[in-house]
Amino acid sequence: MSSLTLNDRLQSFVNNRFFEWTAVTVIIASALLLGAKTFEIGSRATQVLNVLDWAITVFFVLEISVKFAACKDKKRFFHNPWNLFDTLIVAVSLIPVTATDQALIARLVRVFRVLRMVSIIPELRILLNSLIKALPQLGYVILLMFIIFYIYAAVGTTIFEQINPVLWGDIAVSLLTLFRVMTFEDWTDVMYETMTVYPLSWAYYLSFIFFTAFAFLNMVIGIVVNVLDQEQARAKAEEHPNEPTLSDLQSEIAELKALIVSNNSPSKS
């Protein structure tokens, strides 16, 4: 055990709880720094923040380097999407920024450092993975919902374009207007405007709200049923992995019967 290679030592260092918490602390510090910079602060404070910013960047470079060094199979390091994400974030923040336009991008990259919180806390990573896994199962409901949106947007553009081009000018803004109607945000203003020209256009809005609410409801119920199914399957698997089924018991009782019968016959003779 004293003959640990550098790699092994690095690995135990990386998997150390202390290493993880240090990284989390630095990420939180970088998030707070990010927030602090949005307030009006003196030039002195700005200088301090800039120094801190560089310190955090250096820490992130060191952290990712140690992680890479600790990884036994260097080739597979970037197969893990989280490692790839971490490296990209660090690499981009190293690019020197001179022009003002790039300054905006540099600041945005620093924002994504906060997302490293997700890549470093295992529970959040699991949570995000399970969220992403739930999406494809809803694919067809989302497709149906988009078809409803598209048809209503096409009809809305065709009929209401002359009334208010800002809301119904082309299919893109119509889709946005319909999303607004779905969130009930001042939807009556949109409706009252078209009702002055087409008094029956309330039917357009009400049917749209009905269809999307119904499809949305089905999406929610779909997720609930999925989650409950998974829960039940997990609970079943966990609690009684070797629990016999009723069929097992039935066949065993049948065996018993055969035994008794065979038991009976020879004892008779």
C-alpha 175/C-alpha 151 separation (Å) is 10
Q: What is the C-alpha separation between 263 and 166, in angstroms, rounded? A: 92
In the list 45, 94, 197, 224, the residue contacting a copy of itself (rule: CB under 8 A) is 224
* Cα–Cα distance measured from residue 108 to residue 119, given in angstroms and rounded to the nearest whole number: 18
Q: Interface with a copy of itself includes 223 (CB under 8 A)?
A: yes
- φ and ψ at residue 72, rounded to 5 degrees: -70, -45
Q: Please, which residue, 55 or 134, has the CB nearer to a copy of itself? A: 134
**In 3D, which of 66, 76, 85 has the Cα closest to residue 16?**
66
Distance separating alpha carbons of residues 52 and 54, to the nearest angstrom = 5
Tell me if 45 contacts a copy of itself by CB under 8 A: no
Residues 173-192, mask of contacts with a copy of itself (x by CB under 8 A)? -x-x--xx--xxxxxx----
* Sequence-ordered list of residues with C-beta below 8 angstroms from that of 68, at least 6 positions apart, any chain: 74, 77, 87
The C-alpha atoms of residue 113 and residue 117 are separated, in whole angstroms, by 8
Site for a copy of itself in 113-172 (CB under 8 A): 114-115, 117-118, 121, 123-124, 127-128, 131, 134, 140-141, 143-144, 147, 150-151, 153-155, 157-159, 161, 169-172
To the nearest whole angstrom, how small is the minimum distance from the Cβ of residue 96 to a copy of itself?
Answer: 19
Among 24, 29, 31, 52, binds a copy of itself (CB under 8 A): 31
For a copy of itself, the closer of residues 91 and 126 by Cβ is 126
Residues in the chain: 269
Task: Please state the closest distance from residue 257 (CB atom) to a copy of itself, in A.
Answer: 6
Residues 199-218 that bind a copy of itself (CB under 8 A): 202, 206, 209, 214-215, 217-218
Residue 107 as a binder of a copy of itself (CB under 8 A): the answer is yes
